[in-house]
Amino acid sequence: MLNFSFENQTRIHFGEGQISTVASEIPAGAKVLVIYGGGSIKNNGVYDQVVNALKDHAWFEFSGIEPNPNYDTLMKAQALIKQHDIDYLLAVGGGSVVDGSKFIAAAALYNGDDPWDIITDQQKVEAALPIGVVLTLPATGSETNIGSVVTRDGHKLPFMSPAVRPQFAVLDPAVTLSLSDRQISNGVVDAFIHIMEQYLTFDVKGKVQDRFAEGLLQTLIEEGPKALLAESKNDLEVRANIMWSATMALNGLIGAGVPQDWSTHMIGHELTGTYGIDHARTLAIVLPAVMKVRRDAKRTKLLQYAQRVWHIKEGSEDQQIDQAIKMTEAFFQTMGMPIRLPDVELTASDIDTLMAKLESHGMVALGEKQEVTLPVSRQILEQAL
Amino acid sequence: MLNFSFENQTRIHFGEGQISTVASEIPAGAKVLVIYGGGSIKNNGVYDQVVNALKDHAWFEFSGIEPNPNYDTLMKAQALIKQHDIDYLLAVGGGSVVDGSKFIAAAALYNGDDPWDIITDQQKVEAALPIGVVLTLPATGSETNIGSVVTRDGHKLPFMSPAVRPQFAVLDPAVTLSLSDRQISNGVVDAFIHIMEQYLTFDVKGKVQDRFAEGLLQTLIEEGPKALLAESKNDLEVRANIMWSATMALNGLIGAGVPQDWSTHMIGHELTGTYGIDHARTLAIVLPAVMKVRRDAKRTKLLQYAQRVWHIKEGSEDQQIDQAIKMTEAFFQTMGMPIRLPDVELTASDIDTLMAKLESHGMVALGEKQEVTLPVSRQILEQAL
């Protein structure tokens, strides 16, 4: 096991009806900005529950955060924050709304000239407005972690700061019942691949981390498809297990003390930034190719993944690994995902564009051992054809 | 899954050499009281590492915390705290030192007449001195949780308060290499049974919690015996996995959203309080009896435990459960534990004494459904003969 430091202070309120805890979580005197996306929360009752919880607070609202939250949109919130002396943000939505709120929170207290420097120059964020979250889409884990991804002019780029970790997060699985199949699929596969990025590296005898990761993967494999089937899609227990898995997938715990990869994400980001493809769908295309191209470096863990997650016991080691990759692809397809570039109408001729993006973003040594150089990334994209 | 709220703010620094982080974790101006036990930390280098980390701090020390920390001992620290205006406690030791420090921290800021009321009247602890921990014995999980158990006149009683949750905990597996076999055995079995108290109840479809619990149980079953074998007892990876398992076993995570039992602990506490038997050894005696007496109420989870933790696939359901109980007892014996009352020289004639203690402590409706009434506790003790 590698040395590590771990902390996660976010208070979690999990279960049906827990949106009411917002009332006591946000300090009485706070001036709150409620931040949300396209308005779906007005149709599924979440907005009304939030309004009810805030009935004794002074609050304002800012809507229109899009998927892959855009810098220009986020900067529009700053005027509202100054105008009303906002001192608490309540993000009501999925990962994009939470990520966007984190950037808004950091930009509001940023001392430099241009908040975009937070991302391009990775300027240290020393302070940010406090954030609470009412999560509506389990997927990114952003509700309890320190990361955020913001998009500007086709560049999708991350920043991290402990200052933007939410103070609290409400996880009510009942609010996920109104999600579309595509949203729930994206969430399940996004969470699955977050786990894989922290698990499928090389063995450092992190037995607890491995088993927690395997437990989450198995839970998503069992519960994900049920959330799409007519007979089980309204089962609150299915939604609860998906929601808790997605939070645990990226709250820092399973990645503490083990190597991490993240090459699938970095390559996937270019597919979203360039072509606007849903984040999870890019990951479902890239991960199988990473498993194939990086097979030797990841051999020990691939075999463990085959045996413990997919319960494959027959055949040679290589056959077991082949079978595990096939079952991973089949799982993604069951979840309605593309698994090759042509599935999203991309061809070999698009690879040069993606490579140029990777290079311009400095993504020249990715992966758990920085071995995913540009030529290896090209191999991965070619494998995905 | 049951509704739940979860939080755990303790910062963790895990790995060899991490004791040095104490220097930056404790505020520069703090006046620190270093609290420890019988002095083993002076022989294994831990004391020297702590002294070195505190070289720029004002600090004092209080030693002599015994196993099952005694109220009278703990109250002696209060004079020292007043004399030196202590405002930070650093607990250096195992669960007893940490639990004792929690009581010292709460008593120092207690506004009532008698700090013992914190325990006997379960008076709410509103404030406590901040606590840091350098853990030397992985077992109780006290280093990141809100619980503490204190003993007075043969009464071993718990209290809980968020105010006594440690600010930070250093987990350096290298410091556990100097533990005796008995200490490491006690730690592994204590942690194992903490997990069982949160796992072996009834099924609420908490799939993540179940799999996390099963992962921790399997890790302790694999690694515990290695820590006793000559060829592997100095393996730092073994110690690291045991240490992280013990912390995760009782940091609130695997128990969030699922029923909990704790009858084994409550009955075991009377064995320690009355006869001074090591905590873990009392649990190893009581748990198998609880599994047998409460077999029907716990049937679903017993079967899941048999199949997932012990990989038992053959035989009828009842045979699988029998086999799992036998394997649990064999594991405890491998760890050098007693598994019956006669193993610690107790007989049927001691049961009345224990029953009177349980009754006097109000332990009249224990377990996940409060079904462990006094007659059921008697059955459990008789089963343990």
Query: Which top CATH class is A11-174?
Result: alpha beta
| pLDDT above 90: residue B347 | yes
How confident is residue A238, by pLDDT bands cut at 50, 70 and 90? Answer: very high
* 8 Å CB contact between A248 and A12: no
Provide mean pLDDT across the span A299-318.
Answer: 98
How confident is residue B12, by pLDDT bands cut at 50, 70 and 90? Answer: very high
* 8 Å CB contact between A189 and A335: yes
- The pairing of strands B155-160 and B147-152 is antiparallel
How confident is residue B122, by pLDDT bands cut at 50, 70 and 90? Answer: confident
| pLDDT above 90: residue A113 | no
Which tens digits make up the pLDDT trace of B36-57? 998 899 999 999 999 999 999 9
Interface test with A, best of B6, B24, B241, B308 (most A CBs within 10 A): B6
At residue B156, the pLDDT reads 81
The strand ranges marked E within chain A are: 4-14, 31-35, 58-62, 88-93, 131-135, 147-152, 155-160, 168-171
A14 contacts in chain B (CB < 8 Å): 1, 3-6, 256-257
Dist CA A278 CA A269 (whole Å): 10
Closest in B8, B14, B207 to A3, CB measured:
B14
Q: What is the largest CA-CA distance in chain B?
A: 66
Q: Give chain A's end-to-end CA distance (angstroms, integer).
A: 36
At residue B39, the pLDDT reads 83
At residue B150, the pLDDT reads 93
Which range is least confidently modeled, A113-127, B181-195, B329-343? A113-127
Q: B153 — alpha (psi -120 to 50), left (phi > 0) or beta? A: left
| pLDDT above 90: residue B26 | yes
For the purposes of burial, counting CB atoms within 10 Å of the CB of B24, is it exposed (0-12), middle (13-18) or buried (19 or more)?
Answer: exposed
Closest in B6, B206, B208 to A216, CB measured:
B208
Interface test with A, best of B167, B199, B207, B307 (most A CBs within 10 A): B207
A222 contacts in chain B (CB < 8 Å): 207
For the purposes of burial, counting CB atoms within 10 Å of the CB of A235, is it exposed (0-12), middle (13-18) or buried (19 or more)?
Answer: middle
Kindly provide the ipTM of the predicted complex, given to two decimals.
Answer: 0.97
Task: Name the closest residue on chain A to residue B170, using Cα atoms.
Answer: A5
Dist CA B374 CA B362 (whole Å): 10
For the purposes of burial, counting CB atoms within 10 Å of the CB of B111, is it exposed (0-12), middle (13-18) or buried (19 or more)?
Answer: exposed
Provide mean pLDDT across the span A13-22.
Answer: 98
Instruction: Tokens for A207, please give them.
Output: 């037995």
**Chain B residues touching chain A at CB-CB below 8 Å:** 1-18, 21, 205-208, 211-212, 214-216, 218-219, 222-223, 237, 240-241, 244-245, 248, 256-257
| pLDDT above 90: residue B121 | no
CA distance B187 to chain A (A): 17
DSSP string, A320-338: HHHHHHHHHHHHHHHTT--
A4 contacts in chain B (CB < 8 Å): 12-15
| pLDDT above 90: residue B18 | yes
How confident is residue B163, by pLDDT bands cut at 50, 70 and 90? Answer: very high
Contact call for A207 and B223, based on CB within 8 A? yes
| pLDDT above 90: residue A124 | no
Instruction: Tokens for A164, please give them.
Output: 């933007």
Q: Give chain B's end-to-end CA distance (angstroms, integer).
A: 36
Which tens digits make up the pLDDT trace of B167-186? 999 999 999 999 999 999 99
Task: Name the closest residue on chain B to residue A216, using Cα atoms.
Answer: B208
| pLDDT above 90: residue B154 | no
At residue A156, the pLDDT reads 81
Contact call for A219 and B240, based on CB within 8 A? no
Q: Is A159 helix (H, G, I), strand (E, B) or coil?
A: strand
Which tens digits make up the pLDDT trace of A18-41? 999 999 999 999 999 999 998 899
Partners of B34 in beta bridges: B61, B90
Task: Name the closest residue on chain B to residue A213, using Cα atoms.
Answer: B212
Question: For domain B181-383, is the CATH number 3.40.50.10710?
Answer: no
At residue A121, the pLDDT reads 81
Which tens digits make up the pLDDT trace of B229-285? 999 999 999 999 999 999 999 999 999 999 999 999 999 999 999 999 999 999 999
Domain range annotation of chain B: 11-174, 181-383
Contact call for A211 and B219, based on CB within 8 A? yes
Q: Return the higher-pLDDT residue of A39 and A49.
A: A49
At residue A154, the pLDDT reads 78
At residue A57, the pLDDT reads 98
Averaged pLDDT score across all residues of chain B = 96
At residue A122, the pLDDT reads 79
Which tens digits make up the pLDDT trace of A339-353? 999 999 999 999 999
* 8 Å CB contact between A244 and B257: yes
CA distance B6 to chain A (A): 5
Distances (CA, A) of A24 to A21, A54, A360: 6, 9, 46
Chain pair A-B, CB pairs under 8 angstroms: 120
Tell me whether domains B11-174 and B181-383 share a fold: no
| pLDDT above 90: residue A157 | no
Instruction: Tokens for A68, please give them.
Output: 């892959």
Instruction: Tokens for B107, please give them.
Output: 């008593």
Closest in B9, B15, B245 to A9, CB measured:
B9
Provide mean pLDDT across the span A284-313.
Answer: 98
B5 contacts in chain A (CB < 8 Å): 11-14, 21
Name the amino acid, one letter, at B276.
G
Which tens digits make up the pLDDT trace of B277-333? 999 999 999 999 999 999 999 999 999 999 999 999 999 999 999 999 999 999 999
Contact call for A18 and B8, based on CB within 8 A? no
Provide mean pLDDT across the span A291-300.
Answer: 98
At residue A155, the pLDDT reads 83
Which range is least confidently modeled, A99-108, A175-184, A295-304, B150-159? B150-159
pTM for this predicted structure: 0.97
How confident is residue B219, by pLDDT bands cut at 50, 70 and 90? Answer: very high
